[in-house]
């Protein structure tokens, strides 16, 4: 009885058990409440499941206009980051990658920097600079993740 309560009382970490065609309610029952929701072209919705700020994964679950799941993906990876272009809006960045692990504002530079942790071989994180006035991407780069610099083994 205790195992049953434990299993039904917590949402899953990964969307691997999701199947195309499931309803938004079924997705939420398996995954829990999303950390964000983003509109998609054609009336669909993207549910964001960020596993941060210390986590290295963000899952996006796409629903069509009828509220049925069409697919999911883990978006924090080099191949996905390579698509980011200067001029992308803040909304587009959030729709594609979700909330950042960290946000810093540099008023004198007129920029905000969003940093995304991800599973990188060299313990780096992606940093995206946005113009404070237009909220558009101006630069993208990688830098050392501070948690790795503070300790030789970030998993301690």
Q: What is the pLDDT of residues 81-108, one digit of tens each?
A: 999 999 999 999 999 999 999 999 999 9
Higher pLDDT, 150 or 6: 150
Tens-place pLDDT, residues 111-145: 999 999 999 889 999 999 999 999 999 999 999 99
Distant-in-sequence, close-in-space partners of 136: CB < 8 Å, separation ≥ 6: 86, 87, 88, 89, 90, 130
Higher pLDDT, 16 or 152: 16
Take residue 100 and report the two structure tokens written for it: 């950042």
- By the 8 A CB rule, do 115 and 101 touch? yes
Q: Which residue has tokens 């313990």?
A: 123
Q: 12 pLDDT band (50/70/90 cuts)? A: low
| % pLDDT > 90, the chain | 77
In the predicted structure, residue 77 carries a pLDDT above the cut 60? yes
Tens-place pLDDT, residues 28-66: 999 999 999 999 999 999 999 998 778 899 999 999 999
Q: 9 pLDDT band (50/70/90 cuts)? A: very low
In the predicted structure, residue 13 carries a pLDDT above the cut 90? no
Instruction: Give the per-residue pLDDT at 8.
Output: 39
In the predicted structure, residue 6 carries a pLDDT above the cut 70? no
Domain spanning 75-156: which CATH class is it, in words? alpha beta
- Taking the CA of residue 99 as centre, how many other CA atoms within 13 Å lie in the half-sphere pointing to its CB? 16
Strand order in the sheet with 36-39: 36-39, 45-50, 58-63, 69-74
Alpha helices (runs of H) in 19-66, residue ranges in sequence order: 24-31
Give the DSSP H/E element, type plus range, for residue 70.
Answer: strand 69-74
- By the 8 A CB rule, do 34 and 18 touch? no
pTM: 0.84
Domain spanning 11-74: which CATH class is it, in words? alpha beta
Pinpoint the residues of the chain covered by CATH 3.30.1450.10.
Answer: 11-74, 75-156
């Amino acid at each position: 009885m205790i195992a049953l309560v434990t299993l039904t009382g917590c949402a899953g970490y990964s969307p691997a058990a999701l199947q195309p065609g499931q309803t938004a309610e079924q997705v939420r029952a398996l995954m829990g409440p999303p950390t964000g929701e983003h509109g998609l072209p054609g009336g669909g919705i993207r549910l964001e499941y960020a596993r941060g700020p210390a986590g290295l994964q963000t899952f996006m679950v796409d629903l069509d206009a009828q509220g049925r799941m069409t697919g999911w993906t883990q978006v924090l990876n080099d191949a996905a980051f390579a698509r980011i272009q200067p001029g992308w809006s803040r909304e587009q960045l959030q729709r594609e990658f979700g909330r950042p692990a960290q946000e810093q504002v540099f008023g004198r530079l007129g920029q905000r920097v969003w940093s995304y942790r991800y599973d990188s071989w060299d313990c780096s994180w992606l940093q995206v600079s946005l113009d404070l006035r237009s909220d558009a991407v101006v630069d993208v780069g990688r830098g050392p993740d501070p948690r790795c610099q503070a300790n030789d083994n970030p998993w301690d």
